[in-house]
Structure 1
Amino acid sequence: MSMPRDEMELKEEAIRAHYAAAGALLAGFDHAPRLAKALAVEPAAERSPGIGARPRFRSTTPGLVTRSVARPEGVRLADRVLAVGGDALPGPVRASVVQGLRRALAIALAMGESFAEVTGLAELKKANFEARLPGQRSAEFSELLSAEALVVLSVFANATAFLLAPQAGEVTVEVGAVEEILTDNAPLALHGVLWELDQDIAAFANDEARLVAVVLAYAEQLMEKVRLRGESAPRLGAFTGSAWRVAADDFPIAGFAPARKARGTTLSMAFKKPNEVIGNHIAKYQAMRLAKMLMAYDFDRRMNPFAEMGGFIFTFMGDGKPGTGKTTLIQMMAGLLNDYCKVAGYPFRYQNLSIDTVDSYQGKSGQNAKAFISSVMDPAVIGFGTVDDIDQVAGKRGDRQSSTGQQEITAVLMEAFAGANTVVRGNCTFGMFSNYPENVDDALRQRAGARFLVDGPQSREDYIDILALLLGSNHTIPLGDHMLYAAQEIRRAVADSFERHGHPQEAGLRAVWEAVEKRQGRLDTIAKLGTYLKAIQDADPRFTGRAIKNITDAVKVRAMDFELPDLWMEDPELFLFKDYDTKRAMIADLRKPITVEMVVQEINRYADSEFRYADKSDEAAIDAAVRDMRRMEEAKRRYLEGKG
């Protein structure tokens, strides 16, 4: 496999040279915990009478001392892993875990060796071993040893998560924060984290599924903890400023960034077909088009032509009353993506950030949200992330009812959706759904580039269609005078829905529209449209520049208002497997010009939603104030009666 031009190869012979040291670490060593508290776990049982009770691993690195000064605790991680489940014969999963850990350790040690050569640490170690290290360089030596320890820990955790990803199942385990991170030198650092991993396996892994979940959870926690340490640690430029790849595993190393295996998720949800979504015409249409847009992603270029040309929906907000079909919309879009990816052979990953993510442990909620974002944005997969009931999951800033965990999630989502480091590749999309969008933080809500009004069935025809759909076929009731599902014909329904937004729907926005139209006449120039936007901002100060960006993005989506032919999804050779430039040219041929009607409709659609949120928020606040006043009146009445 050829290396990308900006990556160096971490040689296979250098990695295999560390297999013996990695195997010795797994076989056994002594470690006295310094930062973490030992759990009440049994020592790992020996697997053979021929193996000593406490095999020792001692570093052969010149100039380093790793001897423990407290009572040692024997760690035999390989024995611990192979004994999970109580089966005397090692199964393939347990064997894979041991092999993966050995490989990850060898890669980490090879990376540490490379780092030492590049930074001059190897020479300083030799000088220290020979007692000729200059005193003025002792501080540099200590800093480089600490930097090497962080490099080795990061690569070990990263490689472990990458190599064992194919073994992951649906089981998840919470192992808590990693504590035994020692940065005196690399060997001691590995002793600390392997000791703690041994503790977690003993405490949480009672079968093979949980074993893999524990190791992966520990690796994720260790990666994050080391990354945070690395942000302020000195002398790491040689590691963070370069990139390597292990060709045999196709494992990239780019500083502290996690390298995630291209692994999809096994979905157990009940998928819905588009004809099973009644009403919600614009939302359904945009979700169907977005699913096809995602499939245009080019895995070699790691970019989507739609994201480059404009018209890609990275984030969207779906709001509506309870029972109007938000969950059904999610099931439909996930089902479409799942089917398309199966045809193309692409890995598809769906993740939902739910209320269970909010944790009382400080910082844990933010970590959960970051893991969710990283998993969905993985450029090696097609990703779809949802935040259902986002008004409960993410807190509104300044709201005293929001917990610290909810506030952490809000901060993470805001940074991920429109932060300084956000890169929209076009391989994933995020949908936020709520029955009460007015309770979502204003800045977070405005990071939703598109608005899907999920208002459910509206017309008489919609209600007949949904009744017939839900009744099924186990009856003999005649249909009557009705063309079943004719009202759900998507093109006609969407055209009607967009035309309705030629004029505002909300009373507050309608007043602004009428005032501007009276002064300016028909809104048919950019100057007049800009005047209308300014008038909306005067009426609602929350209507900022971000709102204009979201509107123009929506207009660009309308310019891409065409269906990628179904045949392109059914036969990958026709489109999906084309090179990036060919796909871009095929899409460009279908693009439509932007019209005044499109701009007006998208301004009104977006502004209507903001006015709707504001009205609902004001009404909720007024209702709460009225309830408070009534309670006070009743309290006064009872107080006066009791006093009399």
Structure 2
Amino acid sequence: MEHNSTFPIKQTELDMLREEATSYLKSVQWEQGQRARNKDKDSKDDSILFYLSRANNGTNAVEITSVSKTILALKKRLLPESVAIPLLLNQTLYAVQEGITLGIWVKDSYYDASGLSSLTERKSVLDNSGKREYESKMQTATAFMLFSIAYNILHNLKTVASDDLSVMKQKFAGIPEVSLMSPLKGISCALFYYDKYLGHQDIIKSDKDVADFTVVYFEALIDEIQIRKSTLEYQETILDRTYKLEKSEFAISGWDNVFSGTAKSIEFNKIQFEQIVGNRDAKHFARRLTERMLSYDFTAKKNPFQELGGFMPVFMGYGIPGTGKSMLIAAIATKLKEHCDNLDIPFLFHPMPDTLISTFQGGSAEKMVEWMKPLQDPSKLIFAPIDDAENNLQERTEQGVSAGVKEVIGVFLRYTEGAYAVNYGNSSIGLFTNLPEMLDKAVISRVQGRFKIDGARTEHDFLDQDYIWWKKFEKTMPSFVNMNNPEAYKYLGDQVLAKNMGDILKAVEKPSEERVLETFEKVEKQHREEDHMFYASLYKEIQKIFPFFSSRDVRNIQSAISLRLTDFDLEEDWFQNPDKYFKKDYETKFNMLQELMKANMKGLNFSDIRKQEVIRYLDNVATIADTDFKRKVDARIDQLKIETEAREKFDD
């Protein structure tokens, strides 16, 4: 849905609502619902949920709570000596107050735009359908108000809170209930449980915890509202506009949430490429990817490598289990993070969550859109790996594929090519899989760069893999490993990064896959490899064996060849002195790269590269198609064996 008009939220208008917001912080009253009271009755007494459900001793009396009193009590508990309120407590309280102020403004705006104001005035004379509309709009107003409050609080606290909130998230037991009956009830309920958590000794142990918990709580509130929003009516006046806060970056566009999928970087283990054994192709590819992403220009919002044909918004790494997929993901993230820190560039590590496929209709598409949204943010470099990609992106035509998977693929295709696809050259999605043959064909055709993750492949690789393991003992007990070292090999010597793809593909003369080899030799009899006609005939013949081979595959081969033309190292010096390249303007960077590309092309032979890349691609297509076929055959054989066995037993 396009947001077609922007409305300013004026500071002067907010000033008039601040007192109302403060009054909610001073005191709200809430009567817990039956379900929230009975939540988790049987669990251990000290559990947080039990504590919340006993928030007012299990009676259903209305209870009054005060966030500002709780904050003062916290200040006494955490810093008994200090007179002033500690900075983080103050910032958090202020952020919550500002969030509520803004939420009230947004609610008032919805009241006027949706016609709820006039319904409220005529409330006593409404007929049944009028009453229904009134109640319905009340719920939508409340949900949108709570969403705006939480969203603004996150905006103001994201920079203050810790990067890693996983510990706090483990302590947090969710929000027992959310009320959308009316704005007053909505705010009272949300602040009641927020206050109860703040008062719990185990949750808050420092003033940093107050900021961290507030972010976790209001993120959860947004999630709760996102789940319910599909049941709300009268959303037109929410979806057709953007509210922009005066003198601020903050804006609300419908239910869009740029923090979702925590557009905060996810934690990952630091790994260097040298610690990964074998996988020369994969390591080389990963290094090129990081150098290219770092060339992105934040002012021009584009990447010179995109113009040169050397950028891959979507790539795929595939190989048998246990060959280092997860290590490779971590190594790419590590490399990017190190360079970004060094160059003072914001970096987002944004892996696809495991919990994407939802059981309810439309839920998966919504989650997928929320995951893909941050990839369109031009203000940071974004690496978005999808590990075990076959789980969420499997072939849609297979039997038993869930509606959720189909929704996810639909969104993926829409955002990677088509009207929604925006790629500034600052984000890259990596599919990692053991079973590329299970991936949806349309998804595979979006992949512009692919490489094998095949782990240790040579004696030296296996030597090095062991060496990385046993050298740990050397540190603690120097003479414990009483074995001889190889004579002619220096450990990790083969693990250095390749100079270019040519080094890795030197050996590729002929396809390794039988049918491709046969076709290749057949076409060789009719045309010379140096003739353009050779490839035209080859593609036509390949199409006879693999009917799904199309123009898009040819485009992918072309982009693989273009990648080889930009397969050169950036100067070491540029990383040490960013002013020499990274900090230059777009035009200058583009011209510098063009010079490097020309120098690189002098050493290349076009027809050799074309042959190597075509063979590599076709082998890949054949392997994927083959494995798929083999798996289906094996499954059928197993089925027949079972049936035969069952029949024999039955006859006995």
**Alignment TM-score > 0.5, same fold:** yes
Pair 1:507-2:514 in alignment? yes
- Paired residue for 1:353? 352
CA drift of 1:464 comes to: 3.6
1:344 Cα deviation (Å)?
Answer: 1.4
> 1:488: how far off?
3.9
Contact persistence 1:381–1:427 (CA under 8 A): yes
State the distance in 1 between where 2:558 and 2:35 align: 53
- 3-state SS, counterpart of residue 342 of structure 1: helix
Amino acid at match of 1:579: D
Q: 1:130 to 1:416 in 2, by over 3 A?
A: closer
Cα deviation 1:464-494 (Å, max 9, x = unaligned): 4434344327246233122544444534573
SS in 1 for 2:323: coil
User: Relative to 1, partners in 2 of residues 1:26 and 1:283: Cα closer, same or farther, differing over 3 Å?
Assistant: same
Look up the SS of the partner of 2:241 in the other structure: helix
Cα distance between partner residues in 2 of 1:255 and 1:360:
24
Cα deviation for residue 339 of structure 1 reads: 0.8
- Aligned partner of 1:569 in structure 2 is 575
In structure 1, the partner of 2:42 is: none
More divergent stretch after superposition (567-576 vs 396-405): 396-405
Partners in 2 of 1:177 and 1:513 — Cα distance? 65
Distance 1:103 1:597 in 2: 64
Deviations 1:94-125 (A, max 9, x none): 554432222122234445667788x6979x76
Match of 2:17 in 1: 18
Instruction: Note the C-alpha offset of 1:288.
Output: 0.4
Shift of 1:290: 0.6
Alpha-carbon distance in structure 1 between the residues aligned to 2:61 and 2:67: 19
Per the alignment, residue 451 of structure 1 pairs with 450
Please give the residue correspondences for 1:115-514 in structure 2 after superposition, counting only pairs within 5 Å.
152-166=145-159, 167-168=161-162, 169-171=164-166, 172=169, 175=174, 180-181=179-180, 188-189=182-183, 191-192=185-186, 195-196=189-190, 198-199=192-193, 202=196, 207-208=203-204, 209=209, 211-212=213-214, 214-221=216-223, 224=226, 233-236=235-238, 239-240=241-242, 244-248=244-248, 250-260=249-259, 264-265=264-265, 267-272=267-272, 274-353=273-352, 355=354, 357=356, 368-375=367-374, 377-400=376-399, 402=401, 406=405, 408-418=407-417, 420-472=419-471, 474=474, 475=481, 477-491=484-498, 494-501=501-508, 503-514=510-521
Tell me which amino acid in the other structure corresponds to 1:388. D
Q: 1:555 aligns with which of 546, 550, 561?
A: 561
- Contact 2:557–2:614 under 8 Å retained in 1: yes
Q: Which runs of 5+ in 2 are unaligned?
A: 40-51, 80-84, 475-480
**CA–CA separation in structure 2 for the residues paired with 1:455 and 1:284:** 11
Distance 2:517 2:571 in 1: 38
The aligned amino acid for 2:203 is D
Compared CA separation, residues 308 and 502, structure 1 to 2 (3 A): same
SS at match of 2:424: coil
- Give the match's secondary structure for 1:591: helix
Shift of 1:382: 2.0
Per-residue CA shift, 1:195-237, capped at 9, x if unaligned?
2464477579851457335424224426645875799733457
2:258 touches 2:373 (CA, 8 Å); kept in 1?
A: no
- The alpha-carbon deviation at position 319 of structure 1 amounts to 0.9
SS in 2 for 1:481: coil
- The 10-residue stretch of structure 1 (440-449 or 337-346) with the greater mean CA deviation from structure 2: 440-449
Structure 1 residue 308: Cα displacement: 4.5
Pick closer, same or farther for the CA change 1:549–1:198 going to 2, 3 Å. Answer: farther
Q: Distance in 2 between matches of 1:364 and 1:202?
A: 31
The 10-residue stretch of structure 1 (229-238 or 440-449) with the greater mean CA deviation from structure 2: 229-238
| 2:47 paired residue number | none
Residue 352 of structure 1 aligns to a residue in which SS? coil
Partner of 1:104: 99
The question of whether the paired residues in 2 share the 8 Å contact of 1:33 and 1:192 is answered with no
Tell me which residue corresponds to 1:622.
633
Which of 524, 529, 541 is equivalent to 1:517? Answer: 524
CA contact (8 A) 2:436 2:624 kept: yes
Cα deviation, residue 433, structure 1: 1.4
Q: How do 1:598-609 residues align onto structure 2 when only pairs under 5 Å count?
A: 598-609=609-620
- Structure 2 counterpart SS, 1:624: helix
Call closer, same or farther: CA 1:13–1:397 in 2, change over 3 Å. same
> What amino acid is aligned across from residue 642 of structure 2 in structure 1?
R
Q: Deviations over 1:144-201 (max 9, x none)?
A: 989876764553343222222231533236848996446xxxxx34642652464477
For 2:75 and 2:646, the matched residues in 1 are separated by 63
**1:478 counterpart letter in structure 2:** N
Is the partner of 1:490 in helix, strand or coil? Answer: coil
Instruction: Provide the identity percentage.
Output: 22
Indicate the larger mover: 432-441 or 75-84.
75-84
1:333 counterpart letter in structure 2: I
Describe the shift of the 1:235–1:254 C-alpha distance in structure 2 as closer, same or farther (beyond 3 A): closer
Cα distance change, pair 178–606 in 1 and its aligned pair in 2 (3 A):
farther
Q: TM-score, normalised by structure 2?
A: 0.77
AA aligned opposite 1:466:
Q
Shift of 1:78: 5.2
Letter in 2 for 1:463: F
How far did residue 406 of structure 1 move?
4.9
Aligned to 1:53: none
2-side partners of 1:238 and 1:409: how far apart? Answer: 25
Asked if 2 retains the 8 angstrom alpha-carbon contact of 1:389 and 1:435, the reply is: yes
- In 2, Cα distance between equivalents of 1:157 and 1:435: 40
Write the deviation string for residues 412-444 of structure 1: whole angstroms up to 9, x where unpaired: 444443453121122222222122222223323
Secondary structure of 2:337's aligned partner? helix
Aligned position for 1:639: 650
Aligned amino acid, residue 244 of structure 1: K
Which residue type is aligned with residue 503 of structure 2?
D
Structure 2 Cα separation of the partners of residues 237 and 264 of structure 1: 25
Instruction: Tell me if structure 2 keeps the 8 A contact 1:36–1:179.
Output: no
Partners of 1:398 and 1:197 in 2: how far apart? 48
SS for the counterpart of 1:317 is strand
Partner of 1:52: none
Paired AA for residue 630 in structure 1: K
Structure 2 CA distance, aligned partners of 1:537 and 1:194? 65
> How far apart are residue 405 of structure 1 and its match?
5.1
Are the counterparts in 2 of residues 97 and 164 from structure 1 also a CA contact under 8 Å? Answer: yes
Matched, 1:537 2:543: yes
In 2: Cα distance, 1:338 partner to 1:430 partner:
16
Q: Are 2:154 and 2:215, in contact at CA under 8 Å, matched by a contact in 1?
A: no
Q: Residues 364 and 411 of structure 1: is their aligned pair in 2 closer, same or farther, counting only changes over 3 Å?
A: same
Q: 1:601 to 1:321 in 2, by over 3 A?
A: same
Residue 529 of structure 2 aligns to a residue whose secondary structure is coil
Q: Could you tell which deviates more after superposition, 151-160 or 556-565?
A: 151-160
**Gaps in structure 1 of 5+ consecutive residues:** 1-5, 46-69, 183-187
Q: Match of 2:236, as an amino acid?
A: P
Structure 2 counterparts to residues 42-121 of structure 1, below 5 A: 76=66, 87=77, 95-111=90-106
Aligned length: 598
User: Residue 80 of structure 1: CA displacement?
Assistant: 6.8
| Partner amino acid, structure 2, of 1:607 | L
1:589 alignment counterpart: 595
Q: Structure 1 CA distance, aligned partners of 2:233 and 2:511?
A: 49
Secondary structure of 2:284 counterpart: helix
Cα pair distance change 1:139/1:409, threshold 3 Å = closer
Is the alpha carbon distance of 1:571 and 1:551 closer, same or farther for their aligned partners in structure 2, counting shifts above 3 Å? same
Q: CA deviation at 1:296?
A: 1.8
RMSD: 4.5
Tell me, in whole angstroms, the C-alpha distance in 1 between the residues paired with 2:522 and 2:133.
70
**How far apart are the structure 1 equivalents of 2:176 and 2:562?**
44
Q: Equivalents in 1 of 2:25, 2:355: separation in Å?
A: 35
Q: CA deviation at 1:495?
A: 1.5
